Amino acid sequence: MLDIKRIPIPALIGIVLTTLFVLAALFAPWIAPHGNGEIIGDVWEPMSSAHWLGTDNLGRDLLSRMIYGARITLFIAVLATALSFSLGAILGFSAAVFGGWYDTLLSRLVDLLMSIPTLIMALVVLSVLPTNLITLILVMGILDSTRVYRLSRAVAVDINVMDYVEAAKLRGEGSGWIIFREILPNALSPLVSELGLRFIYAVLFLSTLSFLGLGVQPPDADWGGMVKENKDGIVFGIGAALIPAAAIAMLAISVNLVADWVLNRTTSLKGGRG
């Protein structure tokens, strides 16, 4: 069904890059030439054959840090996006199907959450709660799920009035079938495109939090945290901060290339058979 030759080039680039990032994240301890916190040289050494990307502000190998950073960044972003999507989509679909006070209650609650700027909300919550991975993922996931809720509710409201959903209701189907079998497959296209975007927002959000010191705590670091660690070097003309920044950009682009392609495939109403 999946023929490599039929994948368009942008999607192929996206797939290759994303796979590389994922592999780096999965096999970090085996790939990385040095340990995550190991100090192996001078501060901010330039790129060399020994240290491909040079060293960072404490003299740690930047390439190794990048690879471990990929692990943390992807792990948190994936879990947060998964949480926000399952939460947002299920609540959004059920609000559309059940309607009435359930819908009103949920929608106003979401409005309330959305009326507070996400970053400020996250900063407040994270500074009160203990900063660990679980809180970080929960906070990011729940805050982001409000957006997904709005989108999936809007999409599902339109689908819910289609004749085929009415036919299913007339058959006596329960809400489980209606939500997962009638609505979800038809709402997938906008959700998938949103998924790519939301994942990247999660990466960026995490980077922002880490940059502000509320995200991943040292000695571990995600890419955002690494930008922060090395930002002082820019003043001296040392580009170490730009490398994690470039990695974030590259991940953002490649994931969206893949999402675009998946979107194209899922919009086909002929089961992708043509």
Partner 1 sequence: MADTKAKPGQPKQGLLLDIRNLRIEATVYPPGEPPKNIVLVHDVSLTLEKGKVLGLIGESGAGKSTIGLSSMGYGRGGVRITGGEVLLNGRDILKGGKEGFRKLRGREVCYVAQSAAAAFNPAHRLMDQVVEATLLHGTATRAEAEKRAVALFKKLSLPNPETIGERFPHQVSGGQLQRVMTAMALCSEPDLIVFDEPTTALDVTTQIDVLAAIKEAIRDTHVAALYITHDLAVVAQVSDEIMVLRDGKKVEHGETRRIIEAPRTDYTKALVSVRSIEHEEKELTPTALLSVRGATAAYGGGVVKVLQNVSVDVRPGQTLAVVGESGSGKSTLARVVTGLLPPISGSITFAGRTLAPRLAARSKDDLRELQMIYQMADVAMNPRQPVGTIIGRPLEFYFGMRGRERDHRVAELLDEIEMGKGFMDRYPAELSGGQKQRVCIARALAAKPKLIICDEVTSALDPLVANGILKLLLNLQQHEKVAYLFITHDLATVKSIADSIAVMYRGEVVRYGAKSKVLTPPFDAYTDLLLSSVPEMEIGWLEKAIKGRRIESGGH
Structural tokens at position 131: 């900063």
To the nearest whole angstrom, how small is the minimum distance from the Cβ of residue 136 to partner 1?
Answer: 36
Among 107, 131, 135, 186, binds partner 1 (CB under 8 A): 186
Please identify which residue in the block is written with the tokens 């929960």.
138
Nearest-angstrom CA–CA distance, 113 and 139: 12
Number of residues forming the site for partner 1 (CB under 8 A): 25
Provide the angle, in degrees to the nearest 10, between the axes of the packed helices 9-26 and 242-266.
Answer: 120
Q: Which is nearer to partner 1, 165 or 209 (CB)?
A: 165
Q: Which is nearer to partner 1, 57 or 152 (CB)?
A: 152
Among 162, 234, 246, 249, binds partner 1 (CB under 8 A): 162
171 lies in the binding site for partner 1 (CB under 8 A): yes
Q: Are 86 and 240 in contact (CB under 8 A)?
A: no
To the nearest whole angstrom, how small is the minimum distance from the Cβ of residue 165 to partner 1?
Answer: 8
Write each residue from 3 to 32 as x if it is in contact with partner 1 (CB under 8 A), else as -, in one continuous string. x--x--------------------------
3-state secondary structure of 161: coil
166 lies in the binding site for partner 1 (CB under 8 A): yes
Nearest-angstrom CA–CA distance, 219 and 41: 17
Among 115, 130, 176, 270, binds partner 1 (CB under 8 A): 270
Please identify which residue in the block is written with the tokens 């947060």.
80
Nearest-angstrom CA–CA distance, 49 and 65: 16
Please identify which residue in the block is written with the tokens 């020994």.
50
273 lies in the binding site for partner 1 (CB under 8 A): yes
Size (the chain), residues: 274
Nearest-angstrom CA–CA distance, 216 and 201: 16
- Phi, then psi, of 238 in degrees rounded to 5: -105, 125
Which region, judged by CB under 8 A, interacts with partner 1, from 18-26, 70-78, 97-105, 182-190?
182-190
To the nearest whole angstrom, how small is the minimum distance from the Cβ of residue 264 to partner 1?
Answer: 8
Q: Which is nearer to partner 1, 130 or 172 (CB)?
A: 172
Write each residue from 229 to 268 as x if it is in contact with partner 1 (CB under 8 A), else as -, in one continuous string. ------------------------------------x--x
Which region, judged by CB under 8 A, interacts with partner 1, from 43-51, 78-86, 170-178, 200-208?
170-178
Residue 15: beta bridge partners?
Answer: none
Structural tokens at position 116: 């507070």
Sign of CA dihedral 126, 129, 132, 135: negative
Q: Name the site residues for partner 1 (rule: CB under 8 A).
A: 3, 6, 162-164, 166-173, 181-182, 185-186, 265, 268-274
